[in-house]
Amino acid sequence: MSVPRFWRRLKNLYNLIGTRCEKCGGFYYPPRNMCPKCRRNGVIVPFKYKGTGEVVTFTIVHSAAKDYSMLTPYILAIIKLDEGPRLTSQVICDPSEVHIGMKVKSAFRKLGEESDRGMIYYGTKFIPLEK
């Protein structure tokens, strides 16, 4: 990820800020500039998600790209946020614990870095929601 590309998405990655259409009530993450249902009649506003949701499906990565090789095995999941949108994220827990329907909440973590000399990217991952 280039520095400008990360910087443009920084608020979305740090705080799960997406958008919502005030006309139809649709929620979007990542943010959309136009409501796909209401088109030009939609009223899109920024929306901060609570950060809670559940695992829709997941995979456990054992053979990763170089930048993620230290993290293996790690869980990559599709999370459905309580407000509705789905996103792809790591779930931080023992791979034996993760399951479809697992309740999760957001956590602030390192997403990656561009070598020892490059920039460190921070953002949101998910951890099990305590009962």
Partner 1 sequence: MSVGIVSYGVYIPRYRIKVEEIAKVWGANANSIIDGLMVYEKSVPDMDEDTITIAVEAARNAINRAGINPEKIEALYTGSESHPYAVKPSSTVVAEAVGATPDLTLADFEFACKAGTAAIQTCMGMVDSDMIELGMAIGSDVSQGAPGDALEYTAAAGGVAYIIGKKNQVAKIESTYSFTTDTPDFWRREGMPYPEHGGRFTGEPGYFKHVTSAAQGLMKRMGTKPSDYDYAVFHQPNGKFPTRVAKMLGFTNEQIKPGLVVPRLGNTYSGSCMMGLAATLDIAKPDDRIFMTSFGSGAGSDAFSFEVTDKIEEIRNGAPSVEKLLANPVYINYATYARHKGKIKL
Summarize as ranges the residues that interact with partner 1 (CB under 8 A): 10-11, 14-15, 69-71, 92, 94, 107-111, 120, 122, 125
Run of H or E residues at 60: strand 52-61
Q: Which is nearer to partner 1, 78 or 107 (CB)?
A: 107
Please state the closest distance from residue 122 (CB atom) to partner 1, in A.
6
Q: Where are the alpha helices (DSSP H) in the chain?
A: 3-15
Please state the closest distance from residue 44 (CB atom) to partner 1, in A.
20
Please state the closest distance from residue 39 (CB atom) to partner 1, in A.
31
25 vs 96: CA distance, rounded Å: 37
Strand-pairing partners, residue 76, are 59, 90
